[in-house]
């Protein structure tokens, strides 16, 4: 694996991607311009931390919608896995499958990780808030799942 790409910075245009959604629809970031978009990248469906984060975004979705923000979750899981995760956790927003890690790599989130002395490659949990013009207005890296959705909501009120 090559050196990971740098994460896109606040003020820069969000890297473009096209990914398949949980409904089988192809979602292009470029077609979502005109409204703010929240991308949260997470490692794996139905794991403890990812479930906490996903459920918090589920519960906060009415507040994000009030602000006109579209919430999208992205992981390397398959569409089938996403469908199972959505059903099991009653998620109310779109999940995008990135099994080839194309978007994950564009956002600089395919990184070397260490756990109990073991070194491996995985997805760094991170969130990007993109304004209606396609520019990144806020980022959160090395996210702790608990309380993250509230943290994002509070910041979104300041930057949008």
Give per-residue pLDDT as tens, 8-53. 999 999 999 999 999 999 999 999 999 999 999 999 999 999 999 9
Tokens of 22: 């949980």
pLDDT tens readout for residues 57-71: 999 999 999 999 999
**CATH no. for residue 76?**
3.40.30.10
Residues that are catalytic: 50
Cα(33)–Cα(15) distance, integer angstroms: 13
Q: Domains in the chain: how many in total?
A: 1
Tell me whether residue 159 is in a domain: no
Asked whether the predicted pLDDT for residue 1 surpasses 50, the reply is no
Quick check: 54 and 85 in contact, CB under 8 A?
yes
Quick check: 84 and 45 in contact, CB under 8 A?
yes
Tell me whether residue 37 is in a domain: yes
Residue 94 domain boundaries: 18-153
Tell me whether residue 145 is in a domain: yes
């Amino acid at each position: 694996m090559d050196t990971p790409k740098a994460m896109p910075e606040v003020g820069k245009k969000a890297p473009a991607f096209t990914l398949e959604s949980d409904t089988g629809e192809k979602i292009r970031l470029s077609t979502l311009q005109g409204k703010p978009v929240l991308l949260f990248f997470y490692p794996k469906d139905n794991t403890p931390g990812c479930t906490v984060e996903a459920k918090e975004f589920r519960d906060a979705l009415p507040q994000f919608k009030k602000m006109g923000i579209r919430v999208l979750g992205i992981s390397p899981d398959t569409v089938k896995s996403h469908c199972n995760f959505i059903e099991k956790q009653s998620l109310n927003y779109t999940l995008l499958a990135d099994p080839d890690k194309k978007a994950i790599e564009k956002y600089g989130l395919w990184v070397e990780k260490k756990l109990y002395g073991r070194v491996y490659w995985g997805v760094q949990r991170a969130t990007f808030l993109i304004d209606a013009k396609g520019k990144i207005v806020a980022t959160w890296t090395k996210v702790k799942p608990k309380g993250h959705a509230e943290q994002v909501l509070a910041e979104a009120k300041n930057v949008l």
